[in-house]
Amino acid sequence: MAYGLGVARGMLVTLKHVFRPAITVNYPEQQREVPVRARTNLLWFEERCTGCSTCAQACPDGCILVQTSPRPDGTLNIDRYEIDFRICMYCGLCTEACPYQAIQAGGRYNDAVYVFETMYRDRDALTREAQTYLGETGGRYPNGQTQDAIPLITSMPTARSRVDVAGTGGPFGPQRLPGRHVRE
């Protein structure tokens, strides 16, 4: 093989790409649109959550903490819901286990932090993330459902079946609701 042929071929490839439009973007000034179903992060939607703890049981890393207390009507009050993203491996098993799709894959990918401990997110931090997401998507969840589609009426008086839709001006989350549910 003639000397320098490889270099010439390499330069040819470079030249071809010089005249093509760039496929990169100037991050962070420019950002690509993230596909709706991208598994970028975890979002917990308080208004969908019943406090059943299935997600916590499914998590192999044990990074989800759910603490509940019973209400007189048999539903659960969510006292604490926390995710330790320091040890989360984003496997998505919690999202598959949740019967109500209250925890879903999605949301922002640019959540790098300076302080490691801030990756431990409590209920307030998780709710802020979720509300920001819903604000940006006009109330559409990562699974494609809209807030209008929930709460679904179920045969059981779960917290989910009696909460108001989040983000409509009123309080949200079962823990802020009165203990007694009046079905319409």
- Is residue 159 involved in binding ligand SF4 (CB under 6 A)? no
- The two tokens of residue 21 are 């439009």
- Is residue 88 involved in binding ligand SF4 (CB under 6 A)? yes
- Candidates 12-20, 96-104, 122-130, 169-177: pick the segment binding ligand SF4 (CB under 6 A): 96-104
- Is residue 49 involved in binding ligand SF4 (CB under 6 A)? yes
Which one among 11, 25, 36, 89 touches ligand SF4, defined by CB under 6 A? 89
- Is residue 145 involved in binding ligand SF4 (CB under 6 A)? no
Site string for ligand SF4, 103-132 (x = CB under 6 A): x-----------------------------
* Side chain identity, residue 156: M
- Is residue 54 involved in binding ligand SF4 (CB under 6 A)? yes
- Is residue 94 involved in binding ligand SF4 (CB under 6 A)? yes
Long-range CB pairs of 130-133, under 8 A, 24+ apart, other chains included: 130/43, 130/44, 130/45, 130/46, 130/166, 131/166, 131/167, 133/43, 133/106, 133/107, 133/108
DSSP string, 92-148: -HHHHH-TT--EEE-S-S----SSGGGGEE-HHHHHHHHHHHHHHHTSB-TTS-BGG
Least Å from the CB of residue 160 to ligand SF4: 7
- The two tokens of residue 43 are 């979002």
Least Å from the CB of residue 28 to ligand SF4: 25
CB-based burial label for 157 (10 Å; 0-12, 13-18, 19+) = middle
* Side chain identity, residue 58: A
Which one among 41, 43, 47, 59 touches ligand SF4, defined by CB under 6 A? 59
**% helix, strand, coil for the chain, step of 5:** 30, 15, 55
- Candidates 6-14, 20-28, 58-66, 140-148: pick the segment binding ligand SF4 (CB under 6 A): 58-66
Applying CB under 6 A, the residues found at the interface with ligand SF4 are: 42, 49-55, 58-59, 61, 63-64, 66, 83, 88-94, 97-98, 100, 102-103
